[in-house]
């Protein structure tokens, strides 16, 4: 398991604040990724509503689609800036990663740049084109937004999958040679499970969060029966999320088996498995210390069964690599168990809802049901971030798995804590502002004749 030394493009510099640099990157991702979910899934929901309007002529669908399209626009604007910050950080925090491997993975981001560009253009056309185009042309102008939401995820995940399972280049005396960027990015078997897992997560997070907003409205105004508007606005995102949630469990199993094959040490960290074991047990909860899980619930053979679909499969343990090459076990393990725990609950919620709907019963308008729906959105977001913590912290101490240590990639510049603090304060302010504006957008009712440009909201009197 020896790893050849890497001749980085720039000489690595010792960085006192490597951990802070990683945290700053993690913060930037954690802020950006929920917005990505809305970019993936929300336009599709808006288009579905507008399609219902075109089909039925019912103005309610158009009103709802139009209101949601303003939220798409506001969230996309914030997503543009958090995404720009991420691309800055590729150079500001990890210049040696980019300098050494930019020729291998950079293409993914370059194509993603175009995808992002098309998304920005068509979101502009769609959001500002409500009264300026024929209805059908307007609906069609939304299709590229859905497509670019997918291609954007494909490109970014192709880079992340490459970092986790690098290929498409050779090392000659430590130097990166024979670069084949297409093979590196798209010839990578690791890409597909990760991509599908994230794409479905986008629909879950968006669906549960949007449905949760309307369920919250029900919790507060429970005396009056829900209007048709409220029920439509709740039903569509909720049905999408509830169909996606159980499927996500199946996709998660696929991801786990890919991790077992390609990143055995990550799997060992996820499970806290120290000795290499045949017929390994799965541990629920508990805490990893001194090479074993304390206070966990052991289920014999389950890990071998889950990871390799075999009762007695051999599962590689943490003991196969030196301590310096192991990720922080408890962080990875806790994040993974959080994701799986929440994901399981959401899948059960989804199945329960589907059973109710299949039997054509109405969804009970009770405090418990609405309360569960309000919690489901934030829970799905936590699961999303926990999943990314699992894969990204689980990759440590490598930035390019088993090729380049994160410590070699980091910048030599000082002042990382200052930058980190500035970013925290800025994002807190932006987050507070975003909550404020979303509440305003949710309250101001949209009349059909209302002007579409921003700023017009200032002229709109507050309705009932």
Our finding on whether 118 is near another protein (CB under 8 A) is: yes
Q: Does 438 bind another protein (CB under 8 A)?
A: yes
* Token couple for 99: 């300098």
Residue 48 or 216: the one with the smaller Cβ distance to another protein is 48
Cβ within 8 Å of residue 425, ≥6 positions away: none
Nearer to another protein, 306 or 335 (CB): 306
Q: Which is nearer to another protein, 323 or 459 (CB)?
A: 459
Q: From the list 4, 16, 131, 278, which residue makes contact with another protein (rule: CB under 8 A)?
A: 131
Residues 357-386 that bind another protein (CB under 8 A): 357-358, 360, 362
Query: Of 316-324, 336-344, 376-384, 435-443, which part binds another protein (CB under 8 A)?
Result: 435-443
Q: Which is nearer to another protein, 240 or 269 (CB)?
A: 240
Distance of alpha carbon 447 from alpha carbon 403, whole angstroms: 57
Interface with another protein (CB under 8 A), residue from 38, 68, 116, 162: 116
DSSP 281: P
**DSSP string of 199-242, one letter each residue:** HHHHHHHHHHHHHHHHHHHHHHTTTSPPPHHHHHHHHHHHHHHH
Q: Does 143 bind another protein (CB under 8 A)?
A: no
Q: Which is nearer to another protein, 38 or 334 (CB)?
A: 38
Cβ neighbours of residue 381 under 8 Å, at least 6 residues apart?
A: 34, 37, 205, 209
Candidates 17, 38, 68, 109; binder of another protein (CB under 8 A) is 109
CA 330, 332, 333, 337 torsion: positive or negative? positive
Based on the shown chain and the rule CB under 8 A, indicate whether residue 236 belongs to the binding site for another protein. Answer: yes
Q: Does 441 bind another protein (CB under 8 A)?
A: yes
Q: Which is nearer to another protein, 222 or 227 (CB)?
A: 227
**Residue 10 CA, distance from chain mean position:** 32
- Establish if 287 lies at the interface with another protein (CB under 8 A): no
Tell me which residue of 255, 273, 206, 288 sits closest to 391, measured CA to CA: 255
Chain centroid to CA 380: how far? 10
Question: In the complex, what is the shortest distance from the CB of residue 153 to another protein, in angstroms, rounded to a whole number?
Answer: 14
Least distance to another protein, CB of residue 404, Å:
13
Check binding of 187 to another protein (CB under 8 A): no
How many residues are given for the chain? 464
Q: Is 244 in the site for another protein (CB under 8 A)?
A: yes
* Pairing mode, strands 175-177 and 297-299: unpaired
């Amino acid at each position: 398991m020896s790893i050849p030394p890497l001749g980085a493009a720039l000489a690595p510099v010792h960085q006192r604040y490597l951990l802070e640099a990683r945290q700053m990157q993690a913060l930037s991702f954690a802020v950006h990724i929920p917005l990505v979910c809305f970019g993936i899934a929300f336009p599709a929901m808006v288009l579905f509503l507008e399609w219902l309007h075109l089909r039925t002529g019912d103005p309610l669908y158009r009103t709802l689609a139009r209101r949601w399209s303003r939220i798409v626009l506001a969230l996309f604007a914030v997503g543009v800036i958090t995404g720009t910050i991420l691309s800055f950080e590729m150079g500001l925090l990890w210049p040696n990663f980019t300098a050494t491997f930019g020729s291998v993975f950079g293409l993914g981001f370059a194509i993603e740049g175009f995808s992002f560009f098309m998304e920005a253009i068509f979101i502009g056309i769609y959001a500002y084109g409500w009264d300026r185009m024929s209805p059908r042309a307007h609906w069609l102008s939304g299709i590229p937004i859905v497509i670019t939401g997918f291609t954007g995820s494909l490109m970014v995940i192709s880079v992340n999958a490459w970092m986790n399972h690098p290929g498409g280049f050779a090392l000659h005396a430590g130097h990166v040679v024979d670069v084949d960027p297409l093979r590196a990015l798209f010839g990578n078997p690791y890409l597909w499970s990760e991509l599908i897992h994230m794409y479905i997560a986008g629909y879950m997070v968006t669906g549960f969060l949007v449905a949760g907003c309307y369920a919250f409205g029900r919790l507060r105004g429970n005396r009056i029966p829900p209007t048709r508007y409220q029920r439509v606005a709740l039903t569509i995102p909720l049905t999408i999320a509830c169909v996606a949630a159980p499927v996500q469990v199946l996709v998660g199993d696929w991801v786990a088996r890919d991790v077992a094959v390609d990143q055995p040490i990550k799997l060992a960290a996820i499970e806290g498995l120290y000795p290499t074991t045949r017929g390994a047990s799965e541990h629920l909860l508990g805490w990893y210390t001194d090479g074993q899980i304390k206070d966990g619930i052991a289920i014999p053979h389950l890990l071998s069964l889950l990871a390799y679909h075999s009762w007695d499969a051999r599962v590689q343990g943490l003991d196969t690599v030196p301590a310096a090459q192991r990720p922080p076990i408890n962080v990875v393990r806790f994040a993974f168990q959080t994701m799986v725990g929440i994901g399981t609950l959401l899948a059960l919620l989804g199945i329960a809802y589907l059973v109710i709907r299949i039997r054509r019963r109405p969804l009970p308008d009770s405090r418990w049901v609405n309360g569960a729906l309000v919690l489901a959105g934030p829970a799905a977001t936590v699961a999303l971030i926990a999943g990314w913590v699992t894969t990204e912290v689980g990759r440590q101490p490598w930035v390019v798995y088993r090729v380049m240590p994160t410590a070699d990639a980091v910048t030599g510049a000082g002042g990382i804590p200052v930058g980190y603090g500035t970013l925290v304060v800025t994002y807190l302010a932006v987050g507070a502002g975003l909550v404020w504006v979303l509440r305003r957008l949710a309250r101001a009712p949209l009349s059909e004749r209302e002007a579409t440009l921003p700023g017009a909201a200032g002229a709109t009197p507050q309705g009932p």
